[in-house]
Amino acid sequence: MSVSRRTVARALAATVGGTALAGGPPATGAGAAPASGAAASGTRDTQARKTPATGPLIRRTGKTPTGYEVTFRYRAPKAKRVQIKGEWYLQRPLALDPRLTTPDHLVESPGLLPAQWRPGDVPISHPNSTSPNWHTADMTKGHDGVWTYTTPLPGGFYTYGFFVDADADDTTQTGQLPDPANPAWNVVDGIVHGTAVDRSQIHVPSDPRFDTTDVSWLGPSAGPRGMLKHVTYDSPGHLTPVDQNHLVVYTPPEYDPKRAKPYPTLYLSHGGGENEMGWSTQGDVANILDNLINTGAVAPLVVVMPNATGYPSSTAEQAHRTDLIERVFPWVEAHYHVSASASDRAYSGLSAGGMRTNHLMLRNTEQFGYYGMMSAGLPAGTVLTDAQVAALKKVTVYVGGGRQDPINQGYLTLHRGPLREVRDLTAAGLHIQTAFVDGGHEWYVWRLLLRDFLTRAAFLPPTVADDTWGA
């Protein structure tokens, strides 16, 4: 079943659950604001409502360390123990020595908690790894059966989940539950339409008295909102689900299926252990795109987020690449007003999705005009041929990642790290764009890189002169 972002937002507006924002500006009084995930971006609720009894409560305190605190609430009257796992271990980049993970050195994150936050600190899992090793804490049960946990949080976008009567730790994922009062955008009246996710998200504003970093681009846009849709298409040979597969599609604010010029398309791939829902939940893609489009930073575009799992085993992800080109392209072009030109298509992905990006870049170069690798390197043993180099000189190539990402060591011999990809592509005579930021192997980095790829590389003219331009 297809479910649109606007439909979900209307359903959520009619429920009691949601994310409450209380305290001083930018909120007004104790009126409840919509949840800060993609679902709430479909419409606005300007009517003041009673603060719900569950769901996260975001308060502007005006006090150190961050000026904001969040109380997470989960109703479970019969539970003996409830824990919360949140994306808020921190590191202080300037205190790291050395600051960069290299093939022979892994930067160890200190595991600072939000109460220790200082300007310049960034989220990173602890211990530093490619797994989501995030802080797990016990919640406190109230007389009303609602469990609570309060923590300061710096401005940003955070994923969290609950464990009920389980013995969770910072590396546990099995048994994690989303917040029923702040569900994913594809949950309507408690019913999941499409693929379920086991976590929830919030956006916390930043207080300029404590942190001058602007995080508004991660929150709901003040302008018109785009839409998200979960769809199913026929995919013969796909194993799970059988002969079918899924996409999440984002259409921009004020999408016009009849406008004269078709829209460009970004194909955006998830990482290992994830699926088509990753970017629209943890990745915050709808809020990021809404803000970029409404502020004129990028032109309106359609974003297609495929599910790259469930295929039969194949070399260099041949099964996924074939399905994408032979089935997904025609399906998207038949259902949306998008260009069929490779120059109007971009492909990007994180981690395992970055590896998919590399496979497409090396083996199907002509299908996209722009390739964005996030936290991935070239496949091990890659030797670029003259034909590949010639083809790659006709497209835009972007490589980014976290400076402290263990992928920089070359993970499990699957590929070389992103820093070595930059080295190898440059040595082959290719001009590439790069972006490395402080952070590990996590969504904090990938949200930044998505914005950077779209504003500096995708659908923009090349940044190197063509050989025919002369001296």
Give me the DSSP letters along 380-436: TT----HHHHHHHTTSEEEEEEETT-GGGG-GGGTB--HHHHHHHHHHTT---EEEE
pLDDT tens, position by position, 433-459: 999 999 999 999 999 999 999 999 999
Residue 227: helix, strand or coil by DSSP?
strand
> How far is residue 37's CA from residue 235's CA, in Å, rounded to a whole number?
30
Residue appearing with tokens 């040979």: 237
Which tokens is 228 given? 């998200």
451 and 288 Cβ atoms separated by less than 8 Å = yes
Where b means 16+ CB within 10 Å and e means fewer, 292-323 reads bbbeeebebbbbbbbbbbbbeeeeebebbbeb
Give the number of other CB atoms < 10 A from CB of residue 128: 24
pTM (2 d.p.): 0.91
User: Between the CA of residue 162 and those of 155, 157, 189, 327, 342, what are the distances in Å?
Assistant: 22, 17, 20, 38, 43
Per-residue pLDDT in tens (0 to 9) along the chain, 471 residues: 555 554 444 443 333 333 454 543 333 222 233 333 333 333 223 233 345 679 999 999 999 999 999 999 999 999 999 999 999 999 999 999 999 999 899 999 999 999 999 999 999 999 999 999 999 999 999 999 999 999 999 999 999 999 999 999 999 989 999 999 999 999 999 999 999 999 999 999 999 999 999 999 999 999 999 999 999 999 999 999 999 999 999 999 999 999 999 999 999 999 999 999 999 999 999 999 999 999 999 999 999 999 999 999 999 999 999 999 999 999 999 999 999 999 999 999 999 999 999 999 999 999 999 999 999 999 988 999 999 999 999 999 999 999 999 998 877 678 889 999 999 999 999 999 999 999 999 999 999 999 999 999 999 998 888 888 887
